[in-house]
Structure 1
Amino acid sequence: MMTAPDLAGVAWRKSSYSDGGANNCVEIAGGIPGAVPVRDSKNPEGPVLLFTAAAWSAFIGGVTADRLR
């Protein structure tokens, strides 16, 4: 089981696929060894999903290969 990292002060970046609108944006934070934190940019104080680096890589691979329809 992964221990929740301290996310205070991490730099969040918005998805490059966000359309610039306020209704459909996710952000990820880097710099957490072995983990990728993901949050809803509309609710930055809300919950954070924490993925292993391997799970995130597999997800991004599926998205870029258009396998997740």
Structure 2
Amino acid sequence: MRSLDLTAVTWHKSSYSNQDGGQCLEVADGFTAVVPVRDSKYTHNSSPTLMFTADGWSSFVSALKCGVMGS
């Protein structure tokens, strides 16, 4: 996979993130084939970014909504 330039993307917190500042995931919009995800507790320049396929991310979110993945 070719690396993506993520310097100008718009990030938003996942609705599943903890609202008190901990355990927050941020997801970048604007890509059709992949979903970039990062941990918001790092400074934005140092946060490692995970890349999921769009289908893989959709399956993951669906599993969370259905309660398939226990806490």
TM-score range, shorter chain: 0.7 to 0.9
Match for residue 65 of structure 1? 66
Match for residue 37 of structure 1? 36
Runs of at least 5 residues in structure 1 that lack an aligned partner in the other structure: none
- Whole-Å separation in 2 of the counterparts to 1:7 and 1:14: 16
Superposition deviation, residue 18 in structure 1: 2.5
Superposition deviation, residue 61 in structure 1: 1.0
The AA in structure 1 aligned to 2:54 is A
Q: Which runs of 4+ in 1 moved over 2 A?
A: none
Give TM-score scaled by structure 2 length: 0.85
- Whole-Å separation in 2 of the counterparts to 1:66 and 1:17: 12
Match for residue 9 of structure 2? 10
Cα deviation digits, residues 5-51 of structure 1 (max 9, x gap): 11111000001232321211100001012000000111122100000
Percent identity reads 43
- CA root-mean-square deviation: 1.2
Is the CA contact 1:5–1:32 (under 8 Å) kept in the aligned structure 2?
Answer: no
Runs of at least 5 residues in structure 2 that lack an aligned partner in the other structure: none
Superposition deviation, residue 53 in structure 1: 0.3
Residues matched between the structures, number: 68
